Amino acid sequence: MTTATIFGKGNMGTAIASILAAGGAAIEHVDTSSVDANIKGDIVILAVPYTAVDAIVRAYGSQFAGKIVVDISNPVDFETFQLAVPADSSAAAELAGKVPDATVLKAFNTNFAASLTIKSVGSNPTTVLVAGDDVEAKQALTSAITAAAVDVIDAGELTAARELEAIGFLQLQLAVGQKIGFAGGFTLTR
């Protein structure tokens, strides 16, 4: 049985927990203000803003060793409304450097919570894009998601996270600019 620890109980943390639980995973939520929780999940999902990741890594990073750590953030500087990482990097790559004994994946950042909850974007099924360097880790996350009847596409190695973050940022810009709703977004047709 898949076990997942989710940091964050906001819209995304709740939607992801719902998806994984529907697929049979055991879910543990950790309050981001806590500093003494014991991380039990094989998969750790950081469903928090980009700016909250460093504090979580400081408090819990040593417990991430041997685990799959999923970064869902879109690294946006909300003062300038620009991406906050260099063009040749990504938030996921930064995270991987901070938790070298964990396996970092990028996923869920191109989805809005509403599209995860209703499992569709308009008349098309929701698709989660996953990037990472470890095939077994990607398969573990993919299995947990597809068990809940949500589609997944392997987006390649972790270096593809920078493109996923650019797509997520564009989608966020469109929603904030009221060109799409927060139940909208990009879909993929095979």
Domains contained in the chain, CATH given: 3-176 (3.40.50.720)
Q: Output the pLDDT for position 81.
A: 79
Q: pLDDT value at position 76?
A: 84
Per-residue confidence (pLDDT) for residue 21, from 0 to 100: 97
Confirm if 109 and 123 have CB atoms less than 8 A apart: no
* Cα–Cα distance, 146 to 22 (Å, whole number): 10
**Count of H helices and E strands in the chain?**
6, 11
The pLDDT of residue 49 is: 93
How far is Cα 115 from Cα 163, in angstroms, rounded to an integer?
20
Residue 128: phi, psi to the nearest 5? -100, 125
Residue 60's H or E segment, with its range, is helix 53-60
d(CA 174, CA 85): 20
Residue-level pLDDT at 117: 95
Per-residue pLDDT of the chain (190 residues; tens, 9 = 90+): 899 999 999 999 999 999 999 999 999 999 877 778 899 999 999 999 999 999 999 999 999 999 999 999 999 887 887 888 888 899 999 999 999 999 999 999 999 999 999 999 988 999 999 999 999 999 999 999 999 999 999 999 999 999 999 999 999 889 988 998 888 888 887 7
Provide the whole-model pTM. Answer: 0.95
Place of tokens 């009847």: 149
| Tokens 């938790």 found at | 99
What is the token pair recorded at 181?
């709703």
CB 140 within 8 A of CB 43: yes
What pLDDT, on a 0 to 100 scale, did the predictor assign at position 190? Answer: 77
